[in-house]
Amino acid sequence: MTSSSSPKPRLLDWLGTLLFIIAFVVLLVGYDPFMRISHLLFGKPGVEWLALRLQSWLTRALYLKGASFTVEISEKVEPGKHYVLISNHQSMFDIVMMGHFMRSHNPKYVSKRENAIWFPSVAYHLKHGGNAIIDRGSGREAIKIIRNFGKISQEDGSSPSIYPEGTRSRDGQLKEFQAAGAVTLIKAADQLEVVPVTIDNSWQLMKFKFFPIPWGIPLRFRMGDPISRTHAPREILALAREDIDSTLNRWRKTAETSNM
């Protein structure tokens, strides 16, 4: 359940944040040279392999903050199969959680250009790991990049993902979807089923912008039922949003009941 009021940071929040930031920086900086070497030796697959393991370690590092994870995977989702992934977006940690919990599906990302400039490991992976880097100020060019991204991901055997809200929800509330990019991706990767992905409470990790990261956030992650390709692309997007919205509401009602 979201709230506009925030408790004051505790000593445990600050101590856990210090440990997490040390691990976060060591992982990003430490993986960067290995990713570059792996790219020279093995090409894009080398970058992909290391990036997935980095995302897993970054997710595990959240245990240093006392975080817990509830993971739901639909029985209709086949391990190792590739899908178009439509997800809500609450924080930068959504990406690493997706990479960790969906590593057998080899997720790829649509990212804004700024993320591909200076982040160690992250920038290199975005540029050389088969992802889409867009300038949100150039709509036509972004659509072209997303279309190409969908086609190449489908051919390469990866799962292209997109966050149709456009920007992060800073209070956890699901925002309206911007259809253009998501519909373009669904059309471009037309041989892949579409799976809605729901992430909740990651917004709480960033509500103080790292200073500090609150202790003990219960994080939730779900891969819903694949959506049939018998629907038109815009209908698929609407069904994905409906699934995400209903999942968020279900989780929050459960949390509210348990806190009564």
Say if CB 221 and CB 251 are below 8 A apart: no
User: Is 4 a residue whose pLDDT tops 90?
Assistant: no
- Residue 2, pLDDT score: 44
**Class assignment of domain 11-258?**
alpha beta
- Residue 260, pLDDT score: 60
The pLDDT-based confidence of 154 (bands split at 50, 70, 90) is very high
Cβ within 8 Å of residue 80, ≥6 positions away? 104, 105
Domain residue limits, the chain: 11-258
Q: What are phi and psi of 204, to 5 degrees?
A: -70, -25
Q: What's the pTM?
A: 0.92
CA angle 168, 188, 143 (to 5 degrees): 50
SS (H, E, C) 205-232: HCCCCCCCCCCCCEEEEEECCCECCCCC
- Residue 3, pLDDT score: 43
Say if CB 179 and CB 234 are below 8 A apart: yes
Beta bridge partners, 73, equal 223
- Residue 257, pLDDT score: 75
In tens, the pLDDT along 13-59 reads: 999 999 999 999 999 999 999 999 999 999 999 999 999 999 999 99
Rounded Cα gap, residues 24 and 16, in angstroms: 12
Rounded Cα gap, residues 241 and 86, in angstroms: 8
- Residue 8, pLDDT score: 65
Could you identify the residue written with the tokens 């817990």?
68
Averaged pLDDT, 226-247 = 97
CA nearest neighbour of 35 among 122, 107, 113? 122
Averaged pLDDT, 129-135 = 94
